[in-house]
Structure 1
Amino acid sequence: MRTSRTSTTFPPPVMEARRWLDGVDFPPERPLINVSQAAPVEPPHPDLRQAMADAVLQDDSAHLYGPVLGNDDLRAELAARTSRIYEGSVTPAQICITSGCNQAFAAAIAALCGEGDEVIVPVPWYFNHKMWLDMAGATAVPLTCTADMTPDPQAAAALITPRTRAIVLITPNNPTGAEYPDSLVTAFYDLARAHGIKLLVDETYRDFHSRSDAPHSLFSLPDWDETLIHLYSFSKAYRLTGHRMGAMAASPALMAQIEKFLDTVAICPAQVGQHAALWGMQNLDQWLAGERDEILRRRAAIQTEMPRLEAKGWSLLGLGGYFAYLRHPFAMSSAQLAPLLVREFGVLCLPGTMFYPDDATAGASELRIAFANLDVPGLSALFDRLQTVDLALR
């Protein structure tokens, strides 16, 4: 009996990690510190919640199907905002709204790839990207990152074959937190353009970038949409994770293919979430700047705390967005260490093995810390616990 591609795809890692909590008690003096998932747990700004309630009560269209590619006013607002942030030129026809950024990635792959086509993905990779490529019948070609957790365009060039359809970049990166400089992103753009393939740039965590200027210059390039597919998420910026609001920027020609996928899968993005995303962009810039400042404070706190772990053989491999990516010093694989940290130290994080191909060894010494839900005192408590881990060393 033949098996489906979905049945041969590995289980969702975050769900697997949550099962490690089963049967474990966390006493009041040592509550669970959960740094496994990169999502805000607080609700949206009160004024945004009121705007959403007003839409539900007063706008009949909030309860009806809308345009498959998203509401016109939201697409126009995001196009204008993207043009402003990147000092480029983006039109509403180059924008679509999706049910979360994961769906934007899935739609892009569905439009680009046939059975057995290849997509180059830097490792450690975002596991949901790998999962979708597996389920779509496309091949994820791993591109090993350098010591500073950045991918090498020359190494990527050596992986391109006649079946290659795209290269994927995430910046700030999930899982490593690495922020790719404009020169690196542009080098990958030039590589993709030269080979007639697409560059997918996922900037889910753009609003928490440590740079205050434009993260890259791709939108200012002529005919950028012939090569670039840009992915974005409203979920982190406006705390809308439960409303599943993502977006894509690409060519109008590709949008015609994207529309087929979105119409089949969801028909249209959720209306209330679209109202929220639009209202957030129009009214919450100052609040969002404060959210970014807080994330940067937490990032700085990790840099301050790291010497405590470095003295015990740990190292910080990447830091940015919502993530700190660590190398641990223990002989035990992170696949065994992560569940042990839950049971013995009350810390839930993800092992590096969840971000690599099965035959890779690097992930065994790595852990991902998603720190967006810990304030500065909470981060200090996390480092207190990690500092006490005493196991056989490599």
Structure 2
Amino acid sequence: MAGYIFSVAKSLLSTVKEENIKKGYFTPFTPEVTEEEMLPEKSRKRKSINKVLAATFADFITMKTGDNVYFLSDRKIYGVGTLKNVGDDCKYDNYLDASKLLPNCNQKGIAYLTTKDSRARWVFFFEPGKHFMSKGVDMDDVLRYKPSAFKMLRAFEGLSFIKIDDEENRALKEYLYIVNESEICDGSDCLEFDNTLHFNLEQRQLSEYKMNINKVLENEENKKYVISEMFIEAALLQYLQVKKQSVFGEWDYLTHQLIASPLKPLQFIDKMDVYGYRFSECYPDKPQLVSKYILVELKKGKINKAALEQTMQYVDWICKEYAAGDYSRIEAYVVGDSSVRNVEDLKEKYCQRDYIIETHPVKTNSWNNLRLVKYLINTQVDFKEMKSSNDSM
């Protein structure tokens, strides 16, 4: 399972324990679009805020029941909780139409599910473990436990939360259990979970609160401030979650903005737009075996040579870091609203790789599994494969 680590100020940790952890919900605050940001001269700041909102939506939309929850405060990580469906899902708009990404000052008569604040746009529900806050573990100690497993945790800076994959989540969970073993075994210091909120919400009709980034497209005035590459990225992740039989296929794990370069100052780190993997259907043991990886590079405009070259850099990174040199385990996509005329020639020239599949005797193979996809924005964001140059028009 994947994991989510949420940052909490030290001064708020006891409140989070007594309110959020015991009752099994959390609503991280998002930036506000205030009346001041509505002024024409503030349009750049408003657009920047909306990119952050779209990025937060993208993180939330990939949450699945069974994923784990942790909290980071004053260098220490506490856990473990498990995401749980309340009704049909484990995450919702915290108030009606929060997914429209309307300015906070335009929200009137809000019907909240939990936290009564327009900055709390989305909420997720979880069941805390009985020893959720027994002992936190220091970040340095965690990173020393299984250094090769931790990738995103090493770059947790300037963010309210991060998502970690199955391997990183498993290593973090293992270390928390090791540190808390004595308390868990003797049953001391148990946390009593109050499921009243979950029960009450399950009696309500929650369909209107389901997250849907396409709601942004209903408001013409606000839409021009929201449509961005990050918005399309969020729409793509929602599409991948909902449409299993799509041009991209079905994937067990999806995330975005995954680090794809050696560790260096964070402002210079490269990040993949969308990354994920699929588990083998025939491997019998646990942990599950990853059989395929997906990479999606997204451009708001045309797919060109630079976009293809950037994508191939990420393909090489995945092959080296995750796929043990086996390019056949990678599916790559480049998404744009169109492409340059000679894109097929560029694909043939730049988007192939020869690699060794067996060593004694040496056998080689060629990889050219990169496909072009066009996004379309109407009443919703949709995606279709570009079969020919005419498809990009």
> Larger C-alpha radius of gyration, 1 or 2?
2
- Bigger strand fraction: 2
TM bin, normalised by shorter chain, reads under 0.3
TM-score, normalising length from structure 2? 0.26
- Bigger helix fraction: 1
Q: Which has the higher contact order (CA 8 A, sep 6+)?
A: 1
TM-score, normalising length from structure 1? 0.26
